[in-house]
A and B are shown apart, each in its own frame.
Chain A
Amino acid sequence: GAVVSQHPSRVICKSGTSVKIECRSLDFQATTMFWYRQFPKKSLMLMATSNEGSKATYEQGVEKDKFLINHASLTLSTLTVTSAHPEDSSFYICSARDLAVSYEQYFGPGTRLTVT
């Protein structure tokens, strides 16, 4: 149980284009989903928290117009990196939690984004 998938696992895009990353909870309903960014050999940096059906809450310093988050259903959240630039290249990881069950959060396998 508690499986979270992410798609795509790797993506390479050109500067100026937009990229969408999907995060799905496969066997539970995710009342809350989190999006993280991770730099090499660094810890996870929380970007935003999204609750199903409401607007995402962004952490300080994260541009909400650049990193669009949609939590449209209890099993799907998407992160769209708009007008990507090379400095957006990173490892993006989502996690999901079902508060009705526990405080534990489960991570997806991550998406490696490279902007050329």
Chain B
Amino acid sequence: GQQLNQSPQSMFIQEGEDVSMNCTSSSIFNTWLWYKQDPGEGPVLLIALYKAGELTSNGRLTAQFGITRKDSFLNISASIPSDVGIYFCAGHNRSGNQFYFGTGTSLTVIP
């Protein structure tokens, strides 16, 4: 199935720094979701976006639905050690049933 391109693949940052990652697709989506996965656990939904141009925040996390509807961005401000994990984007088109997942961004926060 289709897989979304996520970048960067991995990040190593100092605690307190801001983080940016993005997700791109060759197809248009109506919904973008961002998840965080800790080792050995299932992904946890962070933010859901439903409209092109939408900017939504959840605490220190901010995500944007790209205007072209082919991309989305996730920013984490003032990173802390518990932000460590793998972040996945997922796109959904209402004409279909399934979600397409990104390749993941592995985040390491150095105290």
Interface residues of A (CB under 8 A from B): 2, 4, 6, 32, 34, 41-44, 46, 49, 51, 57, 59-60, 91, 93, 95, 102-110, 112
> In residues 75-111 of chain B, which contact A (Cβ within 8 Å)?
88, 90, 92, 94, 97-99, 101-104, 106
Known: A43-B104, A59-B1. A105 touches B99 (CB 8 A): yes
CB 8 Å contact bits of B24-48 with A (1 = contact, 0 = none): 0000001101010000111111001
Instruction: List chain A residues, Cβ under 8 A from B35.
Output: 107
| B3 near A107: Cβ-Cβ < 8 Å | no
| B101 near A44: Cβ-Cβ < 8 Å | yes
| A103 near B43: Cβ-Cβ < 8 Å | no
| B98 near A34: Cβ-Cβ < 8 Å | yes
**7 pairs across A/B with beta carbons < 8 Å?**
A43-B101, A44-B43, A60-B1, A93-B42, A104-B33, A105-B45, A105-B90
| A110 near B88: Cβ-Cβ < 8 Å | no
Interface size of B as a range: 20 to 34
Alpha-carbon separation in the docked complex, A107 to B36 (Å): 11
Instruction: List chain B residues, Cβ under 8 A from A42.
Output: 104
Alpha-carbon separation in the docked complex, A59 to B3 (Å): 14
Instruction: List chain B residues, Cβ under 8 A from A46.
Output: 1, 98-99, 101
Question: Residue on A with the closest CB to B88?
Answer: A43
Instruction: List chain B residues, Cβ under 8 A from A105.
Output: 33, 45, 90, 99
| A109 near B41: Cβ-Cβ < 8 Å | yes
Instruction: List chain A residues, Cβ under 8 A from B98.
Output: 34, 46, 49
